Structure 1
Amino acid sequence: MSVRNATFRQLRVFVEVARHLSFARAAESLHLTPPAVTMQIKELEGHVGLPLFERQGRRVALTTAGEYLLVYARKVLATLKDAEDVAARLQRLETGTLTIGMLGTAQYFLPALLAEFTREHPGLDVRLVLGNREQLVQMLRNADVDIAVMGRPPSELNVRAEPFGAHPHVFVAPTDHPLLRIGHPTVQSLLPYGFIVREHGSGTRALFQAFFERHHEEPRIAMVLASNEAIKQAVMAGLGLGLLSLHTLQLELEHGLIARLDVEGTPIVRAWHVVHTLAKLLSPAAEAFRYFVLERGEGFLAERYGALLPLPSSP
């Protein structure tokens, strides 16, 4: 028995099962049947000579051997992807698969921007992978994505992060909230009210905390929700105030379903970045996407969201 006899296909299946901790979800992601995934894992376990997963009913967990193999399997597949990218560069072809990681907030504009990109590059198979900031950092670290679109770039990784557009955040409230009668509410005037916030690991949550820390205030957290859509619905229902990216609010603001609070010191304007690790050689497809976003991103965002509010510089 020898790991040398394992195939790249078996390693890909193994990494996908380890990512989802589910044979069924791995099969769906790989466009295989669950029995095919099970067969590939059994063959790989035969080569290794040890079980890679512990199965208890529908629950799946990596064994110690599986955890060790996962580290090396990821390295092997990342090296193979780099080799494929080099070959594509030599051929000067923009073909193959491009995997883009994006923040949940970016889903409100990136698919439309990506539609323009794919019309110009029809030979590409483009995949979008959604995650919060913490998850995107891990995806970049593991080479699970070729490139990422995110707000605050990761300081914990050696990356190239290039800004391409303004990313304003605003406080929102139900349309009948008493603070709307105040022209420019102060930060202190927000404190009697509870806030609905994103989970830890989210860039929006980090920005929320940094804003109040900068003003030496402690906001009251009424509820933690794991998506921008859930926060919008909760705010509209009157369960609290929120801090959200303007790019998530276009429909609600235009139809008067939610209200923006013109709090002093807001909007909080950060930047969108296109990010990739310096250790990873970009394929021609990823390089083309990077140039496209840097060239078109700012104008696209300004055209789509510029009319919603003026964007003064945050203090």
Structure 2
Amino acid sequence: MVHRAELATLRTFLSIYRSGGVAKAAYGLGLSQPAVSLHLKNMEHLVGRPLFERSGRGIAPTEVGHVLAAQVRAHLDALEGVLGAYQATAEEHAAPLFLGAPSDLLWPHILQRLTPLVTEGLHVHCRIGFSPHLTEALLDGQLDLAVLTKIEHAPTRQLHLRHLCEEEFVLIGGVGERPYSHHDAGRRFIGYSGAMPMARRYFRQCWGAPPPTPVLTVADVRTLAAAAEAGTGLSVVPRYLVQSALDAGQLAILHTPQAPVVNSVHLAARIGREHLPRVRAVFDVVCPAA
């Protein structure tokens, strides 16, 4: 028979496995590091073998640790979801919801739709970030929900994903700029980050090549649009964020691809937590299932 204490140590083990460290697991669980270390020690005593080993500056799962995680994670996540579903709705709405998203997607796709829930008493705390960091925070238990613009290479088996929207990327520049050709050398580009995520997708689909190195990076699309309008450089951005400037003749589209360059955006929760009333309420309001 599995006792309550053993379930707690299993939950701690899984948190360490997902987060990759005792300190991160302690933060996500709201426990002290000594308590988490004790849980891990008890679990290794129960299993009879080490579950983690030192790796560089941190720890890595042993083969036994990988096997145990594969065996228990779906069951523990399901139990957490079932128990969460029985919590009182009033208590759930009183508890804060922690949400992560890129800054440019937060208001138009999320917050303006949450007004009814906030009016009913839901407290929402937002974190700005990129998909890899937001995914890690989801799995650590630091976030309840996250808007992910990239799920390639993400641990999708550990995530409950719901389609939020499609972004269409457009290549823009100032009014009067000549159309862009891939053979144009020396055209300045500006981007969201050094990795140029939007331009990278655009150039890969249109020309099968990497984008130019940016002369300016700023993690805010509206600032990129303003810089492009001022002639700082060309940029690839989501159409919906610059459509009004395009309509007003303040910006120009400098290239038209054979097929629209689009990116799927998802709203995500950790598997098992999608059943929590406050999380389910946000899913239903922001991206209701078809």
Does the pair score TM above 0.5?
yes
Rate the CA distance shift 1:278–1:44 in 2: closer, same or farther, 3 A.
Answer: closer
Shift of 1:68: 1.3
- Find the counterpart in structure 2 of residue 64 from structure 1: 63
| 1:108–1:247 Cα contact (<8 Å) kept | no
What's the offset of the Cα at 1:29?
A: 2.4
Alignment match, 1:263: 254
* Residue 75 (structure 2) aligns with: 76
**Distance change (3 Å), C-alpha of 1:287 and 1:181:** closer
Q: Aligned-pair RMSD on alpha carbons?
A: 5.4
Mapped to 2, the partners of 1:31 and 1:21 lie a distance apart of 16
Going from structure 1 to structure 2, the CA distance change for 1:37 and 1:92 (only over 3 Å counts) comes to closer
Aligned match of 1:22: 21
Question: Per the alignment, in what secondary structure is the counterpart of residue 36 of structure 2?
Answer: helix
The letter for the 2-side match of 1:284 is: P
How far apart are residue 80 of structure 1 and its match?
0.8
Q: Distance in 1 between matches of 2:56 and 2:132?
A: 32
Q: CA contact under 8 A between 2:77 and 2:272: conserved in structure 1? A: no
1:292 corresponds to 2:285: yes
Deviations 1:244-297 (A, max 9, x none): 447889xxx9xxxxx9663233996767554679998744333321232248xx
Residue 16 of structure 1 and its aligned partner are, at CA, apart by 2.2
With over 3 angstroms needed to count, the CA separation of the structure-2 counterparts of 1:131 and 1:30, relative to structure 1, is farther
Displacement after TM superposition at 1:133 (Å): 7.1
Structure 2 segments unaligned to the other structure (5+ residues): none
C-alpha distance in 2 between matches for 1:72 and 1:143: 20
Q: Per the alignment, in what secondary structure is the counterpart of residue 263 of structure 1?
A: strand
Q: Distance in 1 between matches of 2:14 and 2:217?
A: 26
Distance 1:129 1:68, change over 3 A: farther
Instruction: Provide the secondary structure at the position in 1 that maps to 2:86.
Output: helix
Q: In the alignment, which residue of structure 2 is the partner of 1:186?
A: 180
Amino acid at match of 1:20: S
Task: Name 1:243's counterpart in structure 2.
Answer: 236
Q: Which residue in 2 is equivalent to 1:212?
A: 203
Q: Give the direction of change, closer, same or farther, for the CA distance of 1:68–1:241 in structure 2 (3 Å limit).
A: farther
User: Counterparts of 1:133 and 1:76 in 2: how far apart (Å)?
Assistant: 25
Structure 2 vs 1, CA of residues 23 and 195 (structure 1 numbering), >3 Å: closer, same or farther? farther
Q: Which amino acid is 1:72 matched to?
A: Q
2:219 to 207, 228, 239: 228
Aligned residue runs from structure 1 range 21-40, under 5 A: 21-40=20-39
Q: Retained in 2: the 8 A contact 1:197–1:225?
A: yes
Tell me what 1:50 maps to. Answer: 49
Pick closer, same or farther for the CA change 1:59–1:208 going to 2, 3 Å: same
Q: Equivalents in 2 of 1:3, 1:194: separation in Å?
A: 63
* Counterparts in 2 of 1:57 and 1:192: CA distance versus 1, 3 Å: closer
- Residue aligned with 2:255, SS: coil
- Counterpart of 1:67 in structure 2: which amino acid? H
Distance across 1 between alignment mates of 2:12 and 2:123: 22
3-state secondary structure, aligned to 1:186 = coil
**CA spacing shift, 1:212–1:101, aligned 2, 3 Å:** same
2:254 match: secondary structure: coil
Query: Compared with structure 1, are the counterparts of its residues 184 and 117 closer, same or farther at alpha carbon in structure 2 (3 Å cutoff)?
Result: farther
Give the deviation of 1:222 after TM superposition.
1.9
Q: What secondary structure, in the 3-state scheme, does the structure 2 residue paired with 1:78 have?
A: helix
CA distance in 2, matches of 1:269, 1:15: 36
Between the aligned partners of 1:15 and 1:224, the Cα distance in structure 2 is 43
Give the drift of 1:55: 2.8
TM-score (norm 2): 0.62
Give the 3-state SS of the residue equivalent to 2:50 in structure 1: coil
Aligned-partner SS, 2:15: helix
The 3 A distance-change label for structure 1 pair 11 and 42 is same
Q: How many residues align?
A: 271
Partner of 2:147: 149
Give the whole-Å Cα distance in 2 for the aligned partners of 1:77 and 1:226: 42
- Percent identical pairs in the alignment equals 21
